[in-house]
A and B are shown apart, each in its own frame.
Chain A
Amino acid sequence: MQDLGISILFRGINFQRLLLGLWVTLRIALITIGISVALGLLFGLAMMSRSRTARGVCRLWLETVRIMPQLVLLYLVYFGFARLFGWDLEGELSAIIVFSFWGTAEMGDLFRGALTSIPRHQRESAAALGLTRSQINRYILLPQTARRLLPQTINLSTRIIKTTALVKMINVTEVLKVGQQIIGQFYREPSAAFWVYGTVFLLYFLVCWPISLAASRLERKWENA
């Protein structure tokens, strides 16, 4: 009975369908990561700007995404924006907007944290050695910030990938939804659900685990550098 269940995965193009479903989430995640990293660096600079307003806005933005579940924000954009502004956004686009909104703030906070964690004597010693401002930024601050920031950015990426599983809730046909379709198709096989959901579980793990490993390895490697 059990081997019947697992055979469903390899019947026809079921496995390819699951992988295609996974690609839908990964595509959303990749676009989101790109936007979040780019805007997050600006966000981080804004968090450290001298303007009180800029800092306040960033603080509010960060607290909002920290407190509101991403699912609520997704609903707000997907269902709410249609009602409020008459914008009929597609599921994928809503997801990218919401996750980028969240990722930008998180990335900005990481950037701020990395930059402020550099001891002040680094900047002061560099200035004492007669380096110009841009030289200090380029040779002293940037390399050290990058080393602290990169592992954390990779971790944020896995969080974004995991969060994209939520798009199932706004009717995007991603890997879970495809899994449900396959299970519905093979409803005669009692153990189909076990194998299909188990596979989805493993697929996510196989995507995120190597990335996490890379992050922790980098972190250890650069710890004392």
Chain B
Amino acid sequence: MCFTFSEKKSNIDSIFAEKGNFGGREDERMDWAFIAGHVPDYVGGAWVTLRFGLYGVGCSLVLGLICCLLRYFRIPVLRSIAHAYIELARNTPLLVQLFFLYAGLPRMGIRLSAEACAVIGLTFLGGAYMSEAFRSGLESVDKTQREAGECLGLTRGQNIRYVLLPQALATAAPALFANVIFLIKETSMFSVLAMMDLMNVADTLRTSGGRTIEVLFMLIVAYLALLLPVSLAATFTERRLRYAGFGNQHSV
């Protein structure tokens, strides 16, 4: 593969000086040796991205389910807290949340490691999104299902576990999968916490080595390798679950 610059070569050095690229003029060809040499860096970065992404996704699912159930069963006080939290988390960017956690809180005596900030930040954001996904799932379950469960003498826990959740999950699955992909994507902001995730690996290589195209090419390939399987799995599951609707489907 070969990338050429046409005739704009003259001002290229100044561009790179301005954009923080100190490597001087680059070779015009794709440097495959460079790519091969830095694969381990990216594998390490992908591992960080995946690991903390999955921690965040796991905690978000738990937090989201709890918040959603608090609201669904109208538990007093707690349900308002859950609602306030959801509004707060959904209406602020993760980047700002991370800055507040990582740089703001230590000033008030609450010191968290970068890793803790990453998981807390992602969970704070993800919990709200997951809760909304669960809620749309639960709302799609007919109310008679819940009432029938109660009439049969199921406890609340049994009702949730055997009646409500299985049906809700089938409807909520697409939204939940979309959230998983969204959250793993959002880990690209962990670089502001000085964590060596994919984004930060790429950024460090770019500023030090100056091989912008190779670095970005590898970054894209790495994210594709991480997220394409998730996306395909989501499509597959969605197709399987499309007929899982139960009871009163609004017929058209």
Check A76–B104 contact: CB distance below 8 A: no
Closest chain-A Cβ to B49's Cβ sits at a distance in Å of 10
Check A197–B100 contact: CB distance below 8 A: yes
B residues within 8 A CB of A192? 107
Check A63–B5 contact: CB distance below 8 A: no
Restricting to B2-20, which residues have a CB under 8 Å from any CB of A? Answer: 3, 5-6, 8-9, 11-12, 15-16, 18-19
Is B228 on the interface with A (CB-CB < 8 A)? yes
Is A23 on the interface with B (CB-CB < 8 A)? no
Is A80 on the interface with B (CB-CB < 8 A)? yes
Q: How many interface residues does A have (CB within 8 Å)?
A: 49
Which residue on chain B has the smallest CB distance to residue A213? B87
Instruction: Given A67-B224, A79-B212, verify A198-B19 contact (CB < 8 Å).
Output: no
A residues within 8 A CB of B108? 191, 194
Q: How far is the CA of A80 from the CA of B210 in the complex (A)?
A: 11
Closest chain-B Cβ to A33's Cβ sits at a distance in Å of 16
Restricting to A53-74, which residues have a CB under 8 Å from any CB of B? Answer: 63, 66-72
Check B181–A204 contact: CB distance below 8 A: no
Closest chain-A Cβ to B205's Cβ sits at a distance in Å of 12
Q: How many A-B residue pairs have CB under 8 A?
A: 137
Check A212–B90 contact: CB distance below 8 A: yes
B residues within 8 A CB of A209? 87, 91
Check B104–A158 contact: CB distance below 8 A: no
Check B103–A205 contact: CB distance below 8 A: no
Check A71–B189 contact: CB distance below 8 A: yes
Q: How far is the CA of A158 from the CA of B128 in the complex (A)?
A: 15
16 contacts across the A-B interface (CB closer than 8 A) = A69-B186, A71-B189, A75-B216, A82-B12, A82-B15, A82-B19, A86-B6, A119-B252, A163-B93, A165-B93, A179-B99, A191-B107, A193-B106, A200-B100, A204-B96, A212-B87
Q: How far is the CA of A158 from the CA of B6 in the complex (A)?
A: 40
What string of 1s and 0s marks CB contacts (under 8 Å) between B196-229 and chain A?
0001001100100000110010011001100110
Check B91–A68 contact: CB distance below 8 A: no
Q: How far is the CA of A195 from the CA of B103 in the complex (A)?
A: 10
Check B188–A72 contact: CB distance below 8 A: yes
Closest chain-B Cβ to A76's Cβ sits at a distance in Å of 5
Instruction: Given A66-B231, A75-B219, A176-B96, verify A212-B105 contact (CB < 8 Å).
Output: no
Which residue on chain B has the smallest CB distance to residue A206? B91
Is A138 on the interface with B (CB-CB < 8 A)? no
Check A82–B231 contact: CB distance below 8 A: no
Which residue on chain A has the smallest CB distance to residue B99? A197
B residues within 8 A CB of A212? 87, 90-91
Q: Which of B88, B90, B223 is A68 in contact with, Cβ under 8 Å? A: B223
Which residue on chain A has the smallest CB distance to residue B192? A169
What string of 1s and 0s marks CB contacts (under 8 Å) between B1-42 and chain A?
001011011011001101101000010000000000000000
Restricting to B164-186, which residues have a CB under 8 Å from any CB of A? Answer: 181, 185-186
Q: Which of B9, B21, B91, B95 is A176 in contact with, Cβ under 8 Å? A: B95
Q: How far is the CA of A80 from the CA of B91 in the complex (A)?
A: 31
Restricting to A170-197, which residues have a CB under 8 Å from any CB of B? Answer: 176, 179, 183, 190-197
Q: How far is the CA of A1 from the CA of B3 in the complex (A)?
A: 57
What string of 1s and 0s marks CB contacts (under 8 Å) between A105-119 and chain B?
000000000000001
Q: How far is the CA of A197 from the CA of B192 in the complex (A)?
A: 14
